[in-house]
Structure 1
Amino acid sequence: MTANPAAFALVNAPLGLGILAVTGVFATLPAFILTALLGRPLIARLQRAAARQTAYEDAPKSHQTKTGTPTMGGVLFAIAPPIALLLAPSRTTAALALLVYSCMAIGAVDDLAKIRKQKNKGLRAVPKFALTAAAATAFLLVAGPQTMSFVAIGPVPAWLWYGLSICVVLATTHAVNLTDGLDGLAGGTVVPPLVAFVCIAGILHAIGVAIFAAAVLGAVFGFLVYNRHPARVFMGDTGSLALGGALAGVAVLTGAHLFLLLIGGVFVAETLSVIIQVASYKTTRRRVFRMSPLHHHFELGGWPETKVTSRFWLASLLLSLVGFALIARTT
């Protein structure tokens, strides 16, 4: 069963609310409980394995205190896909699981390289993007035939739908990765978009997608128990790429490719800040921001880490609400 908007009629309000209630109880709650319970022993295991964070050389000085904190905690997100597959076994959920695990594996290789080198430099950009593109292609193949349609636009050529779908996966995974620079930032920022897509999938009666997003949401809540400031563990690329893959996957399977630019607007802003900074420095030798990604700009402006994080969470919430409202009006 595909989860494209053209494949589902708008369900009535009681049924839509029922779907959301079911996903919350049977997907979000178990994922949260399992992640929260497994977090403590995982942190101890990572400490024994010397899987520790090395602060980026050019990061703000306050980040040097983060060196030595266990990383690769994002493996906890591996709990979500089996829950979704158990509750909604389908080609759709299998494809989403494949995408999350593939992105997680790429991130793990990157993290292990950083740990081995004891530097915040892992895989080079080209192989990292190539592997992510391969993961996106495999995801689309497993997902099966889709109705080539975008929300609020309608049918589009197959080449455009598939091409943009791969671009969405590439962009989103690495945008979430860029955002993972402060305690709880990436995890908290991804929560509102995931909630939005649970609701969007519920409206479209895309049960598998709704359950998958809800399971990932529960795992994120469980992880934030240990990742909120002061963080006891970092998700690493293992987690950030997996979260980006999950967010991209549910957006693609609901046909909300373009709306993800709004719903995931904080991730877009983080990515644009890096692009603008690099382009400006290469052409004019001047920096537009104090430091990129954008969260570092505010840090160097004197904002406490917790203030940056809370404001980014709020921005993500507002953008997700607007994006969901627009989709609800146009479907």
Structure 2
Amino acid sequence: MTGEVVLAVDGGGTKCRAVLVDPRRGVVGRGRAGACNPHSVGDERALAALREAIAGACADGVPGGRLGRVVCGLAGVDSPTGAARGQALVRQALADLGLSAGEVLVENDALVVLRGLAPGEEGLIVVAGTGSVVYARHQGRTVRVGGWGHRVEDEGSGLAIARAALAAAYRAWDGYGEETALVGALCRAVGTADPIGLQEWLYRRETGLEDIAGLTPVVAEVAAAGDAVAGAILAEAGARLATMAAAAARRSGLAGRPGFAALAMGGVLRHCRPVQEAFFKKLQELCSAARPEVLAEEPVLGAALLALGGIEAVPPELVRRLREQLA
């Protein structure tokens, strides 16, 4: 860990967050912007979001305009081609702002969190937000499970939950599915009187995947009120995520290592208790060696720690301060 300030960026599918970190004081600058996944918003919008977030983080100035290291976790970076594309976008954003860096690392946003937070960069991470993916690292080898996008199926994700709820609601409306309060709840959530209006909302040009995934809290509310259909959808989502995690642990060789870190992040796992509980239960059944933990901090914490050399290289006091600052 050097004395130079470092920049950490978490560029997700719904928002981009950047923090400037001083190795002695912790976070000294913050910036936010909109969606940053090049695959979903395009290179131009992704670059604009990166530039806005980085500019906000560095608004109070960077000594000499030079950053010791830049680590960017970027959604959609799932291949060498994607990594090169992301690297070019980040470097362009820095150049546009008159900034230089000793090193620029751009990787998948989930993998950056895992590498930054897991001791020895070993363990697995399960992400369930709008989409879902699992990454596992063991002995320098990285394994990915899921994350194949909405045209395939992001199992256990907010989008998958919302789609399952919508399908259940329409089956009930058509008269061949189990009765469920999801019908009325989903209609009210989008401001329409019946499923015909709901269908119109779903297929509007301006209704995006994030909007549909945003119906997940509605499903959770209906389940909390005792609706069996909604409850089963959430339980299935948690079980699917655990099944993906167990597969990643098995393929990477982690399954034979007792007490390995199994980090969980994303709005679905962080805020939807039924999904979280089902995930923990199923994971213990399938892979008892895992030590699951739901991350309470913002994902940019992983990028910040990796920029500083990883959690084992950072003094405990600074780790504590960063956790507090990025909670």
Normalising by the residue count of structure 2, what TM-score does the alignment of the two structures yield?
Answer: 0.28
Which one has a larger percent strand, Structure 1 or Structure 2? 2
Greater relative contact order structure (CA < 8 Å, 6+ sep): 1
Q: Give the structure with higher Rg (CA).
A: 2
